[in-house]
């Protein structure tokens, strides 16, 4: 007789245990444990700890959870898998170690997956972020057909060719947890020992889906986009015209915050369905310009700093 | 030591994209053979290559272990300088011998254009293969071309498809020494990522495959493919089902796994209410599952997944895949129901928001152009007596054709464009003719892909493709080399196949001109010049040649001969090519073709026509019986052939023409065309000119190259 093959319910770690297990795993491999960035963003890559750290020559290792907002993916909390906001665990290793695939697989083992009993594969998927002027080569990692991680050798960021090459691992925490706990809907996940994901997050999903699809005022959102863009551009202009001493302490990072704001506001406009295809390309281009100019300014700034403290954010 | 030894090269990689492995193996073979033969190392045995996600392997069963020695003669100083009067070697001879590294006694005399000189025979010893391979192999690896490459060791490092993590390079049982990107070539391979050992020493090609097999790697794709087919067949037949055959998917899973195993999963039968196209696309596109059908051909509530493991004893993998599919189907059902609430035609307004191409406007504008062109085409069919087409249906289908581009379903599964529109059209009460046409209008997408099922679909498809071609050419988006982002080759191929497949007699140049008019009419006011139209026509005719060769096995010279006599009506051209092919095997034809070539050469040599051409052949200027006979025969045959030709009996017409061979042969045996006397010469040239023109209207025989004996 063939076994029935049904998953036993609620075997896996709680959502927060999963998060702790992965953070612990990477902390033990010399990663700086960072915190989520406090500006809305669509992906962990946009966190300054990835965007800036992959630039320049200094080695670095970092891991953090980044709640990521994708307004167009919101489903008012009615779809079991699609979320306005999901949680990514982002790991960046610079330079990419030669045994990185093995390291990654060890982390999968560390969250309780027996690799000889599951179908794990690396399928071609080259990540690209047109708003950040960033792209890389890599795979999506599938666990029994479920996409659990984006695995990328970063090639370019902010329009800059990267040397050395960093590797970026982005774990989709919500779906990994749902898989491990054997639940069909993320809202049924146990977040802690007693609280479910739905209790913690459902209202947020409902309200922000409603905001981005139905309530966001298109004119105001466009206005905000323009304002943040102006502020970012102004800073970048001022940076360019500063003298050497002025450049050293110039708030390049603040220009990037404004660029992040633009990126999120663009996503809101997109989900609101008020931008045409051509306008879409134009807006993406405007955000990318800010990102690329910020990256260039950052690189210039760190190259002026004495060695040893280089790359400090 | 034996003269030949087996070579084994394995490039161990992180997972190579499945679609690229086979191509890279082909390139690896070519490169390796090129370098090995340039180095005089390749003997009788050729190189065999094969690959899997984590390795590209090359094996040559017998490589020369050492290059052959090469002898070389080096000429030195004149003999008079090298030896003194007594015959003793001078300083000059000594230093020459020393420089060439030969004993002075071995110098000998040779005569050269500068007189007698001394010479030395140098033997360049062949180097051992192992030494040369250490230089060749890294170069070969670095030269494998890939569609998209990456750095992993830094900007100055090698670019490859994915990082190289190990290399096996062995000649017989010896490791070839080299290093690439800090990876040292060795004799140790790696097994399956999870089931095999990470370190497996091999002694060469003889135990390479068997050791890998023991470590759950089937290195040869054919083995993997057979295993998948066998297991899928067994799983299906146990349930009385059949695998929905899908060769491209089979090829994909063959290259996605090192040890593929098929497992069967189930899904909720309630999902079977969704159209099967959607279910199959969901299973195949994201999940790479095979669908199954019951005896009546209906989709069954099961699927086959191919996993990279030896077994799934606890059913964990199966449960995982079932769970993922459940979520995917739930999504698809959500989209289907959401789209269904909106009428297809209501999407038309949204199409003006969707860019077709920046310089060519929106899809809204494209729809208007395609409608006008499709109506024009339908009227052409009617004018030519083609039945079974209704202009109103064609117009409606063209109007709805692109409406599915703004549905959630197509946004999610872009490969379902057209199909989704057709399904919604049917569900929303459009006629079967229109729904089918919308469904099919992207077809055919390749040389052997299916065609639109009805003439309405064929007409819309043709209009859509011609519009894309003319538009893209007009704004300079012409395919170059391997770059064809708008898939114009595919569009042209599709257009040609529709015209030929439906037997639609149509003036290609008029159709292209009609498509060009569409761009002038709409808001972009894009004027398409004659030169662009000409380029589009050439592009289409070029694809037509490809179709003739690939799907009918017609020869290039037959095609050239017939197309030289006209290509505007491709259906007619195809008939003429087939006639040439049928007739060329008959005895008279090829020799006649040779004579046509001769005539053409003579006329070319005679210079500009206005210098010699007479208003008509003048029989009184004939001097030879052979001239008279040829003239008379030509006039008679011309009349008969013309009758056949008008009735499109091209074979019969060519048969008639071929029978002119004796007269033509006699003419050339007995008559000197370039006669002394001007009138006679001009008359002969005029005769030949008329002959050539008269009998080249079906095909230009001079284009035919004689069959090789």
Q: Which residue has the tokens 């592009």?
A: B539
CB A271 within 8 A of CB A136: no
First to last CA, chain B: 46
Q: Render pLDDT for B314-326 as a digit per residue (tens, 0 to 9).
A: 999 999 999 999 9
CA-closest candidate to residue B425, choices B453, B398, B447: B398
The shortest C-alpha distance from A82 to chain B (Å) reads 9
CB–CB contact A153 B318 (8 Å): no
Mean pLDDT of A149-164: 96
CB–CB contact B162 A116 (8 Å): no
Average pLDDT of chain B to the nearest whole number: 92
Main-chain dihedrals φ then ψ at residue B167, nearest 5 degrees: -140, 130
- Chain A residues with CB under 8 Å of B303 CB are none
Question: What is the secondary structure of B639-664 as a DSSP string?
Answer: HHHHHHHHTT-HHHHHHHHHTTHHHH
Highest mean pLDDT among A300-304, B252-256, B674-678: B252-256
Q: Coil, strand, or helix at residue A167?
A: strand
- Rounded Cα distance between B193 and B397, Å, is 52
Domains along the sequence of chain A with CATH? 15-212 (3.30.930.10), 216-303 (1.20.58.180)
What are the DSSP E strand ranges found in B524-620?
none
CB-CB neighbours of B125 under 10 Å: 11
CA-based radius of gyration for chain A = 20
Helix segments in B265-362, DSSP class H: 276-285, 316-340, 348-351
**How far is CA A152 from each of CA A127, B132, B297, rounded to the nearest angstrom?**
7, 36, 42
CA-closest candidate to residue B66, choices B137, B7, B5: B5
The pLDDT score that the predictor gives to residue A277 is 64
- Rounded Cα distance between B17 and A48, Å, is 31
Enumerate residues 253 to 282 of chain A having a beta carbon within 8 A of any beta carbon in chain B: 276-278
CB-CB neighbours of B6 under 10 Å: 19
Q: Coil, strand, or helix at residue B175?
A: strand
CA-closest candidate to residue B29, choices B55, B13, B49, B10: B49
- Rounded Cα distance between B404 and B416, Å, is 9
CB–CB contact A153 B313 (8 Å): no
- Rounded Cα distance between B401 and B458, Å, is 12
Percent of residues in chain A assigned helix, strand, coil, to nearest 5: 45, 20, 35
- Rounded Cα distance between B301 and B149, Å, is 41
CA-closest candidate to residue B108, choices B142, B79, B128: B79
pLDDT band with cut points at 50, 70 and 90 for residue A278 = low
The shortest C-alpha distance from A162 to chain B (Å) reads 7
Compare A82 and B243 and report the one with higher pLDDT: B243
Compare B563 and B331 and report the one with higher pLDDT: B563
CA-closest candidate to residue A52, choices A277, A260, A282, A275: A260
* Chain B contact for A184 (CB, 8 A cutoff): yes
CA-closest candidate to residue A262, choices A211, A312, A222: A222
The pLDDT score that the predictor gives to residue B388 is 80
- Rounded Cα distance between B174 and B493, Å, is 52
**Bridge partner residues of B303 (DSSP):** B265, B291
CB–CB contact A276 B353 (8 Å): yes
Torsion of CA B284, B289, B293, B294, to 10 degrees: -150
CB B265 within 8 A of CB B258: no
- Closest alpha carbon within chain A to B160: A137
pLDDT band with cut points at 50, 70 and 90 for residue A9 = very low
Mutation target vs A (from B14, B320, B358; most A CBs, 10 A cutoff): B320
Q: Which two tokens stand for residue B355?
A: 């860019």
- Closest alpha carbon within chain A to B318: A5
Considering CB atoms only, which of B155, B287, B323 is closest to A161?
B155
Q: Render pLDDT for A26-62 as a digit per residue (tens, 0 to 9).
A: 999 999 999 999 999 999 999 999 999 999 999 999 9
CB A49 within 8 A of CB A62: yes
Main-chain dihedrals φ then ψ at residue A122, nearest 5 degrees: -110, 110
- Is B352's pLDDT higher than 90? no
pLDDT band with cut points at 50, 70 and 90 for residue A6 = very low
The shortest C-alpha distance from A21 to chain B (Å) reads 22
Torsion of CA B399, B524, B543, B395, to 10 degrees: 20
- Rounded Cα distance between B427 and B429, Å, is 6
Q: CB within 8 A of B384, min separation 6: which ones?
A: B504, B505, B506
Mean pLDDT of B427-439: 95
State the complex-level ipTM.
0.92
The pLDDT score that the predictor gives to residue B489 is 95
| DSSP label of B458 | H
Q: Which two tokens stand for residue B392?
A: 């109103």
- Closest alpha carbon within chain A to B334: A79
Q: Which two tokens stand for residue A239?
A: 């940076």
CB B428 within 8 A of CB B444: no
- Is A98's pLDDT higher than 90? yes
Helix segments in B405-507, DSSP class H: 408-412, 419-427, 432-440, 455-474, 488-502
CB–CB contact A119 B354 (8 Å): no
Q: Kindly report which listed range (A83-92, A272-281, B408-417) carries the lowest average pLDDT score.
A: A272-281
For residue A88, what is the enclosing H or E element? Answer: strand A85-94
Q: Coil, strand, or helix at residue A4?
A: coil
CB–CB contact B163 A120 (8 Å): no
pLDDT band with cut points at 50, 70 and 90 for residue A313 = low
- Chain B residues with CB under 8 Å of A79 CB are 330-331, 334
| DSSP label of B590 | H
* Chain B contact for A1 (CB, 8 A cutoff): no
CB B177 within 8 A of CB B170: no
Mean pLDDT of B476-487: 84
* Chain B contact for A119 (CB, 8 A cutoff): yes
ω into residue B157 within 30 of 0, thus cis?
Answer: no
Considering CB atoms only, which of B151, B313, B318 is closest to A165?
B151
- SS3 for A200-262 is HHHHHHHHHHHHHHHHCCHHHHHHHHHHHHHHHHHHHHHHHHCCHHHHHCCCHHHHHHHHHHH
Between chain A and chain B, the number of residue pairs with CB atoms below 8 A apart is 127
Enumerate residues 68 to 97 of chain A having a beta carbon within 8 A of any beta carbon in chain B: 79-82, 95-96
**Bridge partner residues of A85 (DSSP):** A69
**Bridge partner residues of B71 (DSSP):** B123
pLDDT band with cut points at 50, 70 and 90 for residue A110 = very high
The shortest C-alpha distance from A163 to chain B (Å) reads 5
pLDDT band with cut points at 50, 70 and 90 for residue A312 = low
Residues making up chain B, counted from first to last = 709
Mean pLDDT of B553-578: 94
- Closest alpha carbon within chain A to B148: A137
| DSSP label of B86 | T
Angle between helices B570-584 and B650-658 (to 10 degrees): 40
Helix segments in B39-145, DSSP class H: 79-82, 91-100, 129-143
Q: Which residue has the tokens 């309530």?
A: A215
- Is A172's pLDDT higher than 50? yes
Considering CB atoms only, which of B17, B156, B307 is closest to A124?
B17
Long-range contact pairs involving B60-63 (C-beta distance under 8 Å, separation at least 24) = B60/B6, B60/B7, B60/B32, B60/B36, B61/B6, B61/B205, B62/B4, B62/B5, B62/B6, B63/B4, B63/B5, B63/B6, B63/B7, B63/B36, B63/B129, B63/B171
- Rounded Cα distance between A101 and A96, Å, is 10
- Closest alpha carbon within chain B to A124: B17
Angle between helices B530-552 and B570-584 (to 10 degrees): 40
- Chain A residues with CB under 8 Å of B322 CB are 5
Chain-centroid distance of CA B250 in Å reads 21
Mutation target vs B (from A100, A144, A166; most B CBs, 10 A cutoff): A144
Mean pLDDT of A288-302: 96
- Is B701's pLDDT higher than 60? yes
């Amino acid at each position: 007789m063939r076994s029935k093959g049904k998953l036993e319910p609620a075997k896996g770690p709680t959502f927060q245990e999963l998060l702790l297990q992965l953070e612990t795993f990477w902390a033990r491999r010399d990663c700086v444990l960072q915190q989520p960035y406090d500006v809305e963003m669509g992906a962990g890559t946009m966190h300054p700890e990835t965007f800036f750290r992959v630039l320049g020559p200094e080695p670095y290792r970092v891991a953090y959870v980044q709640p990521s907002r994708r307004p167009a993916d919101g489903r008012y909390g009615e779809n079991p898998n699609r979320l306005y906001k999901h949680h990514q665990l982002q790991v960046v290793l610079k330079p990419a170690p030669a045994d990185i695939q093995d390291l990654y697989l060890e982390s999968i083992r560390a969250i309780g997956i027996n690799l000889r009993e599951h179908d794990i594969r690396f399928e071609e998927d080259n990540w690209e972020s047109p708003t950040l002027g960033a792209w890389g080569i890599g795979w999506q990692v599938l666990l029994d057909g479920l996409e659990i991680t984006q695995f990328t050798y970063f090639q370019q960021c902010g329009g800059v060719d990267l040397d050395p090459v960093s590797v970026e691992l982005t774990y989709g925490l919500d779906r990994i947890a749902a898989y491990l706990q054997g639940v069909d809907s993320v809202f049924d996940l146990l977040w802690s020992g007693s609280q479910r994901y739905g209790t913690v997050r459902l209202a947020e999903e409902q309200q922000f889906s409603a905001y981005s699809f139905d309530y966001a005022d298109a004119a105001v959102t466009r206005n905000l986009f323009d304002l943040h863009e102006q502020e970012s551009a102004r800073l970048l202009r001022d940076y360019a015209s500063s003298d050497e001493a002025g450049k050293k302490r110039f708030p390049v990072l603040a220009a990037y915050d404004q660029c992040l704001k633009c990126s999120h506001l663009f996503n809101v406009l997109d989900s609101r369905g008020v931008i045409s295809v051509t306008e879409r390309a134009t807006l993406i281009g405007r955000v990318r310009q800010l990102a690329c100019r910020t990256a260039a300014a950052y690189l210039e700034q760190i190259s002026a700093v004495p060695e040893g403290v280089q790359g400090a954010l | 030591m034996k003269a030949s030894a087996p070579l084994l090269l394995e490039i161990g990689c992180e997972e190579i994209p499945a679609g690229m492995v086979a191509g890279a193996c082909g390139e690896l073979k070519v490169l390796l053979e090129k370098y090995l033969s340039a180095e005089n190392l390749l003997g009788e045995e050729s190189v065999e290559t094969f690959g899997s996600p984590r390795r590209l392997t090359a094996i040559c069963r017998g490589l020369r272990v050492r290059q052959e020695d090469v002898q070389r003669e080096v000429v030195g100083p004149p003999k008079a300088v090298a030896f003194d009067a007594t015959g003793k070697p001078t300083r000059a001879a000594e230093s020459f011998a020393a420089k060439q590294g030969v004993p002075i006694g071995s110098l000998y005399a040779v005569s050269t254009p500068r007189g007698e000189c001394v010479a030395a025979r140098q033997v360049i010893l062949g180097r051992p293969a192992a030494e040369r391979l250490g230089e060749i192999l890294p170069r070969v690896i670095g030269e494998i071309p890939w569609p998209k490459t990456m750095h992993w060791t830094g900007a100055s490092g090698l670019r490859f498809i994915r990082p190289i993590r190990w290399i096996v390079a062995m000649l017989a049982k010896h490791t070839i020494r080299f290093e690439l990107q800090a990876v040292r070539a060795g004799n140790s391979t790696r097994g399956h990522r999870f089931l095999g050992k990470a370190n497996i020493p091999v002694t060469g090609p003889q135990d390479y495959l068997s050791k890998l097999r023991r470590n759950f790697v089937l290195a040869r794709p054919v083995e993997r493919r057979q295993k998948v087919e066998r297991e899928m067949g067994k799983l299906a037949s146990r349930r009385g089902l059949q695998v929905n055959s899908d060769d491209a998917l089979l090829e994909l899973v063959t290259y996605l796994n090192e040890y593929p195993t098929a497992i069967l999963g189930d899904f909720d039968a309630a999902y079977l209410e969704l159209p099967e196209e959607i279910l199959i696309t969901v299973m195949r596109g994201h999940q790479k599952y095979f669908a199954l059908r019951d005896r009546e051909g209906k989709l069954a509530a099961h699927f086959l997944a191919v996993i990279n493991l030896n077994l799934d004893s606890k059913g964990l993998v199966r449960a995982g895949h079932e769970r993922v599919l459940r979520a995917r189907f739930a999504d698809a059902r959500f989209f289907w129901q959401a789209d269904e609430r909106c009428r297809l035609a209501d999407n038309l307004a949204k199409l003006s928001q969707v860019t077709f191409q920046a310089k060519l406007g929106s899809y809204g504008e494209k729809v208007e152009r395609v409608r006008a062109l499709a109506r024009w085409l339908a009227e052409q069919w009617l004018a030519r007596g083609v039945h079974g087409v209704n202009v109103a249906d064609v117009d409606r289908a063209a109007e709805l054709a692109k409406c599915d581009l703004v549905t959630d379903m197509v946004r999610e599964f872009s490969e379902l464009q057209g199909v989704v529109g057709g399904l919604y059209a049917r569900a929303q009460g459009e006629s079967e003719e229109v729904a089918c046409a919308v469904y099919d209008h992207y077809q055919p997408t390749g040389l052997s892909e299916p065609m639109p099922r009805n003439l309405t679909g064929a007409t819309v498809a043709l209009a859509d493709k011609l519009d894309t071609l003319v538009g893209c050419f007009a704004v300079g988006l012409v395919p170059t080399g391997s770059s064809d982002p708008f898939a114009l080759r595919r569009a042209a191929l599709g257009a040609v196949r529709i015209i030929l497949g439906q037997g639609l007699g149509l003036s290609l140049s008029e159709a292209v001109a009609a498509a060009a008019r569409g761009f002038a009419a709409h808001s972009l006011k894009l004027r398409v010049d004659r030169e662009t139209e000409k380029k589009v026509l050439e592009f289409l005719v070029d694809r037509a040649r490809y179709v003739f060769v690939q799907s009918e096995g017609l020869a290039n010279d037959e095609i050239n001969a017939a197309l030289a006599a006209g290509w505007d009506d491709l259906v007619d051209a195809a008939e003429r090519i087939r006639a040439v092919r049928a007739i060329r095997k008959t005895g008279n034809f090829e020799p006649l073709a040779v004579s046509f070539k001769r005539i053409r050469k003579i006329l070319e040599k005679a210079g500009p026509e206005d210098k010699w051409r007479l208003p008509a052949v003048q029989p009184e200027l004939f001097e030879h019986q052979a001239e008279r006979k040829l003239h008379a025969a030509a006039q008679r045959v011309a009349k008969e052939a013309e009758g056949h030709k008008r009735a499109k009996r091209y074979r019969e017409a060519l048969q008639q023409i071929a029978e002119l061979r004796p007269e033509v042969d006699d003419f050339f045996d007995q008559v000197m065309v370039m006669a002394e006397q001007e009138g006679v010469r001009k008359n002969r040239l005029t005769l030949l000119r008329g002959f050539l023109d008269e009998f080249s209207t079906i095909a230009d025989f001079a284009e035919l190259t004689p069959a090789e004996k």
